[in-house]
Amino acid sequence: MTNLAILSIGPASSVQDGGRFGAQRYGLTPSGAMDRLALAVANCLAGNPLLTAAIEIGPYGASLKARGGAVRVALSGAPRSADIGSRSVAWDTSVTIADGETLKLGMARGGSFSYLAIEGGIKGEPVFGSLSVNARAGLGSPYPRPLQSGDELDVAAANAIPERRIDLPAAASGPIRIVPGPQNDEFSEGAVKLFLDSEWKISATSDRMGYRLEGPVIKHLHGHNIVSDGTVNGSIQVPGNGQPIVLMSDRGTSGGYPKIATVITADYGRFAQIPAGTAFRFKVVSMEEAQAEARKFAELLRTLPDRLGSIESFDLNVEALQDANVAGVAVSAMDARTWQVAGAE
């Protein structure tokens, strides 16, 4: 039996897939990857369906060892140092961990979550149709909790195929885009303006259920209680203390605080990757623009396989080296005419 053993891993690391859906009306939260694009990229590189369960690794490092056979993995999301023995592993590529070798991952840089997809996926028993872990609810598989040292994940042995790389578009930047509401009328124009004009930071007390925002106090017009209604990923609630909370993948399916705005689908993963303490701003866009961006995001996911390439596929030829002025004058040791000097003895 081939497995990937967890030698060490930081908090906020768990098995996540595309999430569990179809039962939110019963109060079952969807969970799933915080950064859906990064999950899809890692799985694409590993040769899996895009939303297959993978390891979502939090800001701290991890060490994982292949046992019982070689294991092919792929890395995407927040970049970090990665090596197998003395070999450095490039980001957004696949790599094979030989039996007995250890993959070591450092701290995340410029983000919060990285994704380690495994060729063939992670073996587990789906819970309401998903392996995604929701630790508060005790849901998920193969472990209904964050991963920890000593855990072993049953996986498939690596296939003998070339490693892969992927050509991704430039990452989006700038303010996090939002659409107003659905209860923005519970706030004065001044409060809404303060929310949009202010710089915000994510509190270190945040988690997969919600990101608490640090910034000015946003006051309500009619109090902070409303009749509980449905929430979505990216709903921005404003509780009684006036400090907004952005609801994340392990959110409750309903809530009783007014929601001043909602992070658009296309920016949700980018927002989830913002490290605690990093300043950012919000920007309002129209519903039509949000829908257009959602369609672009869906199209990017759909076309990820078209962006794959083999790491062995590049052609390093003599003409390219000469044009780049890297190799100087190239010669062939098998053809004396290319290196013998005319008239020399």
User: Which pLDDT does position 344 carry in this prediction?
Assistant: 44
User: Which pLDDT does position 64 carry in this prediction?
Assistant: 98
User: Which pLDDT does position 345 carry in this prediction?
Assistant: 41
32 close to 67: Cβ distance less than 8 angstroms? no
- Integer-rounded Cα Rg, in Å, for the chain is 24
Report how far residue 45's alpha carbon sits from residue 307's, in angstroms, rounded to the nearest whole number.
Answer: 10
β-pairing verdict for 282-284 and 176-180: parallel
pLDDT of residue 103 exceeding 90:
yes
3-state helix, strand, coil in the chain (%, to 5): 20, 25, 55
Q: Mean pLDDT across the stretch 321-343?
A: 47
Q: What's the full length of the chain, in residues? A: 345
Q: Mean pLDDT across the stretch 94-122?
A: 97
Rounded to the nearest integer, the mean pLDDT of the chain is 91
Per-position b or e across 312-342, b if 16+ CB within 10 A of its CB = eeeeeeeeeeeeeeeeeeeeeeeeeeeeeee
Report how far residue 296's alpha carbon sits from residue 43's, in angstroms, rounded to the nearest whole number.
Answer: 20
Q: Mean pLDDT across the stretch 184-196?
A: 96
Among 138, 151, 109, 134, CA closest to 34: 134
Q: Retrieve residue 100's tokens.
A: 């007995």
Encode 58-113 in three state secondary structure: CCCCEEEEEECCCEEEEEEECCCCEEECCEECCCCEEEEECCCCEEEECCCCCCCC
Instruction: Strand 279-280: give its sheet, edge to edge.
Output: 279-280, 200-202, 210-214, 245-247, 235-237, 259-263, 176-180, 282-284
User: Which pLDDT does position 322 carry in this prediction?
Assistant: 47
User: Which pLDDT does position 268 carry in this prediction?
Assistant: 98
Distance of CA 36 to the CA centre of its chain: 6
pLDDT of residue 57 exceeding 70:
yes
User: Which pLDDT does position 4 carry in this prediction?
Assistant: 97
Among 253, 1, 296, 289, CA closest to 136: 253
Among 122-131, 157-166, 234-243, the minimum mean pLDDT is found in: 157-166
Longest dimension (CA), the chain: 100
User: Which pLDDT does position 278 carry in this prediction?
Assistant: 96
pLDDT of residue 314 exceeding 70:
no
Percent of the chain topping pLDDT 70: 90
pLDDT digits (tens, 9 = 90+) for 256-311: 999 999 999 999 999 999 999 999 999 999 999 999 999 999 999 999 999 999 98
pLDDT of residue 333 exceeding 90:
no
Residue scoring higher pLDDT (92 or 311):
92
Percent of the chain topping pLDDT 90: 85
1: confidence class by pLDDT, cuts 50, 70, 90: confident
Distance of CA 16 to the CA centre of its chain: 10
160: confidence class by pLDDT, cuts 50, 70, 90: confident
- Half-sphere exposure (CA, 13 Å, Cβ side) for 125? 3
pLDDT digits (tens, 9 = 90+) for 133-143: 999 999 999 99
User: Which pLDDT does position 121 carry in this prediction?
Assistant: 97
Report how far residue 261's alpha carbon sits from residue 178's, in angstroms, rounded to the nearest whole number.
Answer: 6
Report how far residue 161's alpha carbon sits from residue 127's, in angstroms, rounded to the nearest whole number.
Answer: 32
Q: Which of 167-171, 220-224, 295-299 has the highest mean pLDDT?
A: 295-299
pLDDT of residue 337 exceeding 50:
no
Q: Which domains are present in the chain? A: 3-163 (no CATH), 176-302 (2.40.100.10)
β-pairing verdict for 164-166 and 152-154: unpaired
